[in-house]
């Protein structure tokens, strides 16, 4: 049988993801090369795109490490740099469990439910401001504001800092987009900041702001998450400055950017499907099951990286110890073998079957219940107020192969 020629693509090219969501490439990989050796300027890395294989890697955390080489960068990171900016997402058990346990109780469904009344007030305030403008950018005027205001409340941050945290957090996590980052990742200018959280110049200011609250909470805790961070112990010792900064930065970007993009990409998916829009906009339609389907179609993270700790196999393909394995969450969430008609919104699908929150493994997103609640409340309160909503111009995508999302999404909303 003649070899099937691969299409030309480079998943390291951030501009590729700025131009479109490359489902055609992922479909080819899933069909012809589900465990694919992708070249780079080193020894290459493995791309895993099938649902079952991504789930397998997530579950085999003792074999596929988040700690050995980090989890957010495909490229190899110098050991001293990795250690300098390590947060608890980039740890393995038992250390990961020690980090996660103190926070877990504040992110259970019961704990999150106590914020629902505040969340509804926040959503109403954001919508009041948006309806007054009518012509808005859905990303900046709605989707960006809700998660940071909710997160700021849960963390215990001063409200006057919220808007600044949005800007600084964007510059940290979207460091490949020249319209957002001050110094684009990989540039000579960015090299000077490589030891800061996320390797970003924005981290210095963001962490300094956070430390004002953290320092106030140390020895004088309140009922908020930063009080836990300020007073927790790892290995019997209070956290040092580096761990405080790295993990504060993680909370800001993880609780802000992904939920924002699920909101924005979800609305875009509804605009592109009249049937789904008509169904989802009905009273009571924004159930947890329906919200999960919206998150599946609007997966806000393209990939995470793991490192093999021992020789192993994925789908019969030999993986050597030390090799990088990149699991493509968004692609797996549109795997036709896992989801019938994967590019179609189907609100009858089973709840929480998607991989957007990392199900099945120890790194399952701690903010899952909060994100789902924020998205549900937004749509529960948006649709009843609408007379009309329409997209007024083309959306613009982020220049990023890590965050799947929009940076501009012009919409006109009219109140009843």
All structural domains of the chain: 14-415 (1.10.630.10)
pLDDT of 102 reads 93
Q: Which two tokens stand for residue 361?
A: 């493994």
- 416 residues of the chain, pLDDT tens digit each: 334 456 789 999 999 999 999 999 999 999 999 999 999 998 999 999 999 999 999 999 999 999 999 999 999 999 999 999 999 999 999 999 999 999 988 899 998 999 999 999 999 999 999 999 999 999 999 999 999 999 999 999 999 999 899 999 999 999 999 999 999 999 999 999 999 999 999 999 999 999 999 999 998 999 999 999 999 999 999 999 999 999 999 999 888 889 999 999 999 999 999 999 999 999 999 999 999 999 999 999 999 999 999 999 999 999 999 999 999 999 999 999 999 999 999 999 988 789 999 888 899 999 999 999 999 999 999 999 999 999 999 999 999 999 999 999 999 999 99
pLDDT of 360 reads 84
Query: Cα(246)–Cα(211) distance, rounded to whole angstroms?
Result: 11
pLDDT of 83 reads 96
pLDDT of 55 reads 97
In this structure, the number of other CB atoms found within 10 A of the CB of residue 103 comes to: 17
pLDDT of 6 reads 64
E-strand ranges in 34-167 read 35-38, 45-48, 64-65, 135-137
In terms of Cα–Cα distance, which of 406, 364, 416, 365 is closest to 386?
416
E-strand ranges in 152-243 read 233-234, 237-238
Question: 74 and 324 in contact (C-beta within 8 Å)?
Answer: yes
pLDDT of 337 reads 97
Question: 106 and 228 in contact (C-beta within 8 Å)?
Answer: yes
pLDDT of 3 reads 43
Show contacts of 98-101: CB within 8 Å, 24+ apart: 98/234, 98/235, 99/234, 99/247, 100/362, 100/366
Q: How far is CA 40 from CA 12, 73, 235, in A?
A: 8, 13, 38
**Ramachandran assignment for 95, one of left (phi > 0), alpha (psi -120 to 50 degrees), beta (any other):** alpha
In terms of Cα–Cα distance, which of 55, 17, 50, 21 is closest to 339?
50
Question: 326 and 47 in contact (C-beta within 8 Å)?
Answer: yes
Place of tokens 């989802």: 280
pLDDT of 5 reads 58
Question: 247 and 88 in contact (C-beta within 8 Å)?
Answer: yes
């Amino acid at each position: 049988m003649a070899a099937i020629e691969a299409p030309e693509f480079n998943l390291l090219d951030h501009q590729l993801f700025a131009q479109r969501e490359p489902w055609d490439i992922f479909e080819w990989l899933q069909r012809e090369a589900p465990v694919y050796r992708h070249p780079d300027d080193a020894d290459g890395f493995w791309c895993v795109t099938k649902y079952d294989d991504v789930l397998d890697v997530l579950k085999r955390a003792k074999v596929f490490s988040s700690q050995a080489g980090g989890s957010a960068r495909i490229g190899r990171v110098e050991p001293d740099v990795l250690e300098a900016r390590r947060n608890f997402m980039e740890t393995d058990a038992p250390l990961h469990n020690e980090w996660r346990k103190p926070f877990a109780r504040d992110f259970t469904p019961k704990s999150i439910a106590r914020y629902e009344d505040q969340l509804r007030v926040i959503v109403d305030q954001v919508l009041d401001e948006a309806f007054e403008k009518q012509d808005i950018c859905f990303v900046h005027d709605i989707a960006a504001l809700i998660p940071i205001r909710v997160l700021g409340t849960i963390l215990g941050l001063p409200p006057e800092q919220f808007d600044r945290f949005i800007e600084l957090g964007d510059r940290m996590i979207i460091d490949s987009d020249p319209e957002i980052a001050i110094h684009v990742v990989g540039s000579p200018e960015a090299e000077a900041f490589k030891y800061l959280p996320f390797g970003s110049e924005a981290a210095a200011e963001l962490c300094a702001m956070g430390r004002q609250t953290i320092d106030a909470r140390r020895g004088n805790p309140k009922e908020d998450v930063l009080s836990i961070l300020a007073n927790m112990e790892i290995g019997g010792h209070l956290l040092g400055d580096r761990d405080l900064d790295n993990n504060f930065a993680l909370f800001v970007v993880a609780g802000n950017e992904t939920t924002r993009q699920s909101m924005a990409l979800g609305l875009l998916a509804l605009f592109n499907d009249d049937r789904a829009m008509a169904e989802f906009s009905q009273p009571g339609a924004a159930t947890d099951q329906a919200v999960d389907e919206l998150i599946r179609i609007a997966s806000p993270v393209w990939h995470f990286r793991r490192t093999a700790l021992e020789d192993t196999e994925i789908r019969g393909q030999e993986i050597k110890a030390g090799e990088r394995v990149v699991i493509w969450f968004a692609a797996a969430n549109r795997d036709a073998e896992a989801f019938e008609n994967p590019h179609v919104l189907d609100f009858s699908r089973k709840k929480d079957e998607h991989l957007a929150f990392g199900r099945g493994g120890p790194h399952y997103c701690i903010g899952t219940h909060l994100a789902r609640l924020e998205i549900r409340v937004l749509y529960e309160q948006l649709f009843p107020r609408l007379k009309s909503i329409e997209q007024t111009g083309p959306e613009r995508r982020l220049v990023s192969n890590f965050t799947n999302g929009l940076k501009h999404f012009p919409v006109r909303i009219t109140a009843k």
